[in-house]
Structure formats: structure tokens, C-alpha cells
Amino acid sequence: MRRFLLPLGIFAVLVGFLAVGLRLNPREVPSPLVGKPAPAFRLAQLHEPDRTLAPEDLRGRVWLLNVWASWCVSCRQEHPVLLDLARSGAAPIYGLNYKDNRQAGREWLVQHGGDPYVSSAYDQDGRVAIDYGVYGVPETFVVDKNGVIRHKHIGPLTAEAVRDRILPLLKELNGA
């Protein structure tokens, strides 16, 4: 009888871990950067290579950083949501064009209904995305007025995620 108790106990523990894991939302992967300053960078802009973009240029305002690429299939799904969010004026959206061809990125924005970004930084080798802990594209970060990351959304933004999480957080951070 005892020789069955050990395997049964191990099985019960594994079932417990599985039950807990199935209840977790895969879009809510904890980020060690939430609550910490946004990693510094200075990159050339996608549309104007002679101009740069850096988080320090955005201090004093709440903003979003959306990591995207022309080769990203999920970015197509997210793009109309970003266009709507940009039109709402809730916060400026900056892009981080990740491991892409500069011309392909520009053309993709035109082909898919417009550019929701105030500006996009061109991260050709992906080093900045690595500093931000990007798992894959798209990902979106909400950054407060002090340059601190307050939220990370993994995967394409949906209208529900914007309505239920992003907009309330933006209102809170803007003191509205």
C-alpha cells in the first residue's frame, strides 16, 4: 500500500500545478521592468533616419511604446486598434520597428491604413527590444510621466484590452 502512496502524492502535486497553470492568462506574463525606468536608447527614426528618438525626449508625458514589424502577422490584427487609440488622443503612441527592413516598414504602414505612431524608432538589430524584454511582436508598454514602465501587454492589443486596461491606466497616470 505504501508503494502506491508516493506516486499518488506526486501525481496529485502535478495535477495541482496543472490546475493553477490553466487558470493563468498567457498575456499576463510578469515583466521585471514594470515599476522600473524604461531602458534608455537613442535610435534613428523609421521615416527620418537623420532624426533620433529616445525615452528621455518623452519625459513629462504618459506615452505608449508599441513594438511592431512589417513581417508580424499579429500586427495586422492589432493595427486598426492602434489607429483607433491614436485617434482617441488618450496618449501618444511611439513605435519600435523591430528587426525589419526600413522600406518594408514604411510601406506596411501605408498599406494597412495609416501610421498610428507619433514616430517609430528603427531597431534593426533588435537590441533595444531585448533590453525591454520583448518575447515577440507585437508588445505594448505604458510609460508614465517619469519614464517608468507601468504596464506591459504581450500580443496584439484588442479593443477590449484597450477599454478595460489601457484607457483606465492612462486616465489614472494622467490624473484625470
pLDDT value, residue 29: 54
Question: Which domains, from first to last, does the chain contain?
Answer: 34-173 (3.40.30.10)
Distance, CA of 97 to CA of 107 (rounded, Å) = 12
Say what the pLDDT of residue 10 is.
73
pLDDT score for 167? 98
Q: Which residues of the chain have pLDDT under 70?
A: 1-2, 8, 16-31, 176
The set of cell numbers assigned to 29 is 506574463
Report the b/e string of 143-168 with b at 16+ CB within 10 A. Answer: bbeebebbbbbbbbbbeebbeebbee
CB of 65 closer than 8 Å to CB of 140: yes
Q: CB under 8 Å to 45, separation ≥6 — which residues?
A: 51, 52, 53, 119, 120, 121, 122
> Cell for 109?
504602414
Q: Rounded distance, CA 150 to CA 35, Å?
A: 6
